[in-house]
């Protein structure tokens, strides 16, 4: 498969200033020679050009010029794919790039599959699997924080840790196997103790990596946050404030938003997908009914919710039933319209819907919300603390409460802080960014951890060393999968098919 030469358009389809067509493989220079006519005294045929030089000329197809281009000659092995590579920069727009590509295909290249350039970089040993995945993360990253994490992984920070782990496990395995080969020499208590210690260290390290999975997932995919509440509470106004532009229609007529609206915003470096929904109430007509149904659906699918309350409207018992529906979801209570005279106080909220005050501060009130709002026996007397310490004191069932005004934007910064705090379990430490694992790594690590644990159990129970070695080998292979030391065609297909063509 690496014998042939692949070509693809590397830039997005559509109109633009420039487009790049990429060619990689043993015949790259020969194919470029057929298609490219150098123009000017310094331009050369690709096959005689030195590496890392650029040449001006024309792409010629059936004797006719297709486009004026700049052609870069990149000779193996100092290229992304480790193969001879030619990059042709032509005019932007669909047609020039497509005609250049067609010319290359007619001259002997094969159209590349999605991610095939990166796959070759992996197969030729230029990058390992975590780095290949980082290339995709880099392309898809939606915030600078996500980009920073992808860059760290591309630089090989995760690979390094995984390789260290694997090396250590291999050494342990070699040790165990040596004792199998020489059964007369019994494993000494000292040696056994050392092996156990090493394996325990391995398990602890895997646990540390596994703890980054959640954050890794959030950075890569973003987190879904539904904005819910009664009609006219200011949900759409809140969406617009969080996005920083007028995305959703806002009007004083209750029931303005009927369909759900999804938009991604960068909240303190985290990609957050906000979903504005139709106001929750007994629907007046069929369309609104469908809107309310979708609201409930979004609510169910969201990882957490912003429940918007209107401070200028009395709390109603109708609203209470929604509190019950939201219970069990991570949530923030957003008290909106604080610029208007307030119709209810924190105490009233406590009485009406069963939230209890754990802390009050004038500008940023935080309350503790019971998971089951209708269980009065679970309520405890109000405690007063400063808002900062209360945030840490809020238990899992609790919900931070943030006052905002969506007309002026007041309280938005506090709300963004609260969102970050709720989404991100730990601190975003710089060294964490280096090793944000994805779900594939997580799966492999879980298998490796289980097998290592079984190895420990077998050794501790004094069972046969063959058994221990068998388990440990499973663990080593699972760890090897992460960087691609042990891999299958299917695994590679599933990873690289997620890439775009030309990458």
Ligand X SMILES: Nc1nc2c(ncn2[C@@H]2O[C@H](COP(=O)(O)OP(=O)(O)OP(=O)(O)O)[C@@H](O)[C@H]2O)c(=O)[nH]1
Residues at the site binding ligand X, with contacts judged by CB under 6 A = 231-237, 250-252, 254-257, 278-279, 336-337, 339-340, 405-407
75 or 235, CB closer to Mg ion? Answer: 235
* Interaction partner, residue 337 (ligand X, Mg ion, none; CB < 5-8 Å by kind): ligand X
171 contact, one of ligand X, Mg ion, none, CB 5-8 Å limit per kind: none
Short-list 268, 297, 302, 266, CA closest to 280: 297
Work out what residue 483 binds among ligand X, Mg ion, none; the CB cut-off runs from 5 to 8 Å by kind: none
Mention every residue, 6+ apart, whose C-beta is less than 8 A from residue 184: none
| CA geometry: angle 356, 359, 362, nearest 5 deg | 120
In angstroms, give the least distance from the CB of 77 to ligand X.
Answer: 58
Question: Among 144-152, 235-243, 401-409, 424-432, which window interacts with Mg ion (CB under 5 A)?
Answer: 235-243
Residue 26's nearest CA partner among 48, 1, 61 is 1
| CA distances, 440 to each of 4, 223, 345, 464 (Å) | 30, 18, 48, 32
* Residue 103 binding target from Mg ion, ligand X, none, CB below 5 to 8 Å by type: none
414-418 contacts at long range (C-beta below 8 A, 24 or more positions apart): 414/363, 414/364, 415/242, 415/306, 415/332, 415/334, 416/242, 416/267, 416/268, 417/268, 418/332, 418/391
Q: How far is the CB of 238 from Mg ion (least distance, A)?
A: 9
Report strand pairing: 330-336 vs 304-310. parallel
Q: Looking at 102-110, 229-237, 434-442, 478-486, which segment touches Mg ion (CB under 5 A)? A: 229-237
- Site residues for Mg ion, 238-267, by CB under 5 A, read 256-257
Backbone angles phi, psi at 143, to 5 degrees: -135, 165
**Residue with smaller CB distance to ligand X, 407 or 450:** 407
Which is nearer to ligand X, 278 or 353 (by Cβ)?
Answer: 278
From ligand X, Mg ion, none, which one binds at residue 109 (CB under 5 to 8 Å depending on kind)? none
d(C-alpha 430, C-alpha 347), whole Å: 41
The nearer residue to ligand X, 251 or 425, going by C-beta atoms, is 251
Q: With CB cut-offs between 5 and 8 Å by kind, which of ligand X, Mg ion, none does residue 51 bind?
A: none
Shortest distance, position 152 Cβ to ligand X, whole Å: 40
Q: 204, 443 in Cβ contact below 8 A? A: no
CB of 283 to Mg ion, least distance (A): 14
Place of tokens 């310094």: 42
Question: Which residue has tokens 């790594």?
Answer: 441
Q: 267 phi and psi, to 5 degrees?
A: -110, 105
The sign of the torsion formed by the CA atoms of 431, 437, 443, 445 equals: negative
**Paired tokens of 90:** 């032509």
Size of the site for Mg ion (CB under 5 A): 4
| Rounded Cα gap, residues 242 and 266, in angstroms | 9
Pick 153 or 237: Cβ nearer ligand X? 237
Smallest gap from Cβ 302 to ligand X, in A, equals 16
Closer of 6 and 228 to ligand X (Cβ): 228
167 or 246: CB nearest ligand X: 246
CB of 373 to ligand X, least distance (A): 21
- CB under 5 to 8 A by kind: which of Mg ion, ligand X, none does 234 bind? ligand X
Which residue number is nearest to ligand X in terms of Cβ? 279
Nearer to Mg ion, 145 or 334 (CB): 334
Angle at 410 between CA 407 and CA 411, to 5 degrees: 130
- Cα atoms found within 13 Å of the Cα of residue 115, Cβ hemisphere only: 20
Q: Which stretch binds Mg ion (CB under 5 A): 52-60, 100-108, 127-135, 233-241?
A: 233-241
Least distance to ligand X from the beta carbon of 233, Å? 4
Chain length of the chain: 503
Q: Nearest-CB residue to Mg ion?
A: 257
Nearer to ligand X, 23 or 228 (CB): 228
Picked from ligand X, Mg ion, none, the partner binding residue 142 (CB below 5 to 8 A depending on kind) is none
The residues, ordered by sequence, that sit 6+ positions from 471 with a Cβ below 8 Å of its Cβ are 451, 452, 454, 455, 458
CB of residue 448 to Mg ion, shortest distance in Å: 48
Distance CA 359, CA 249 (A): 35
Q: Which residues contact 432 (CB under 8 A, 6 or more apart)?
A: 212, 215, 426
Least separation in angstroms between residue 295's CB and Mg ion is 10
Separation CA 219–CA 230 (nearest Å): 31
Question: Of the two residues 281 and 379, which places its CB atom closer to ligand X in the complex?
Answer: 281
> According to CB under 5 A, which one of 172, 236, 241, 295 is a site residue for Mg ion?
236
Give the count of beta carbons closer than 10 Å to the beta carbon of residue 471: 22
Q: Is residue 435 within 8 Å of residue 426, measured between CB atoms? A: no
Pick the closer one to Mg ion by CB: 219 or 265.
265
Min separation Cβ 312 and ligand X, Å:
7
Q: Tell the residue number behind the tokens 């890794």, with chain if given.
A: 216
Kindly report the number of other CB atoms within 10 A of residue 56's CB atom.
13
Looking at the Cβ atoms of 116 and 403, the one nearer to ligand X is 403
Distance of CA 71 to the CA centre of its chain: 35
Say which entry of Mg ion, ligand X, none residue 25 contacts (CB below 5 to 8 A, set by partner kind).
Answer: none
CA distances (Å), 300 to each of 120, 220, 291, 296, in order? 42, 21, 14, 6
Question: Which of ligand X, Mg ion, none interacts with 289 (beta carbon under 5 to 8 A by kind)?
Answer: none
Q: How far is the CB of 359 from ligand X (least distance, A)?
A: 23
The contact set with Mg ion (CB under 5 A) reads 235-236, 256-257
């Amino acid at each position: 498969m690496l014998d042939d030469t692949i070509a693809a358009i590397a830039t997005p389809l559509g109109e633009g200033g420039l487009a790049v067509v990429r060619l990689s493989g043993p015949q790259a220079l020969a194919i470029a020679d057929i298609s490219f006519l150098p123009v000017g005294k310094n331009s050369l045929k690709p096959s005689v050009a030195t590496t890392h030089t650029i040449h001006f000329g024309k792409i010629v197809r059936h004797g006719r010029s297709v486009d004026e281009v700049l052609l870069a000659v990149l000779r193996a092995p100092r290229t992304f794919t480790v193969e001879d590579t030619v990059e042709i920069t032509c005019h932007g727009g669909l047609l020039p790039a497509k005609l250049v590509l067609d010319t290359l295909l007619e001259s002997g290249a094969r159209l590349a599959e999605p991610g095939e350039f990166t796959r070759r970089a992996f197969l030729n040993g230029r990058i390992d699997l975590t780095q290949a995945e980082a290339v995709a993360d880099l392309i898809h990253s939606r915030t600078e924080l996500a980009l920073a994490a992808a860059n760290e992984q591309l630089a090989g920070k995760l690979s390094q840790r995984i390789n260290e782990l694997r090396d250590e496990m291999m050494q342990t395995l070699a040790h165990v196997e040596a004792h199998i080969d020489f059964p007369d020499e019994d494993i000494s208590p000292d040696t056994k103790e050392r092996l156990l210690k090493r394996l325990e260290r391995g398990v602890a390290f895997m646990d540390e990596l596994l703890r980054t999975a959640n954050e890794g997932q959030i950075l890569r995919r973003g987190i879904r946050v539904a904005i819910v509440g009664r009609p006219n509470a200011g949900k759409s106004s809140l969406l617009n404030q969080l996005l920083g532009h007028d995305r959703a229609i806002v009007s004083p007529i209750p029931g303005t938003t009927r369909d759900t609206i999804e938009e991604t915003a960068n909240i303190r470096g985290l990609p957050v997908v906000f979903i504005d929904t139709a106001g929750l109430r007994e629907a007046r007509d069929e369309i609104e009914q469908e809107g309310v149904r979708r609201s409930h659906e979004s609510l169910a699918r969201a990882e957490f919710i912003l429940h918007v309350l209107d401070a200028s409207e009395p709390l109603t018992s109708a609203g209470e039933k929604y509190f019950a529906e939201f219970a069990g979801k991570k949530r923030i209570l957003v008290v909106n319209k604080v610029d208007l005279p307030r119709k209810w106080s924190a105490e009233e909220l406590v009485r009406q819907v069963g939230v209890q005050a754990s802390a009050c501060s004038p500008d940023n009130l935080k309350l503790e919300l019971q998971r089951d709002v209708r269980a009065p026996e679970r309520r405890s007397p109000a405690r007063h603390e400063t808002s900062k310490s209360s945030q840490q004191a809020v238990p899992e069932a609790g919900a931070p409460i943030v006052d905002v005004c969506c007309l002026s934007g007041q309280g938005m910064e506090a709300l963004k802080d609260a969102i970050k705090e709720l989404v991100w379990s730990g601190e975003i430490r710089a060294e964490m960014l280096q090793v944000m694992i994805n779900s594939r790594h997580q799966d492999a690590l879980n298998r490796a951890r289980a097998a290592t644990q079984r190895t420990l159990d077998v050794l501790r129970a004094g069972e046969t060393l063959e058994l221990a070695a068998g388990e440990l080998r499973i663990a080593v292979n699972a760890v090897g999968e992460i960087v691609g030391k042990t891999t299958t065609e299917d695994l590679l297909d599933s990873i690289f098919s997620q890439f775009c063509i030309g990458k």
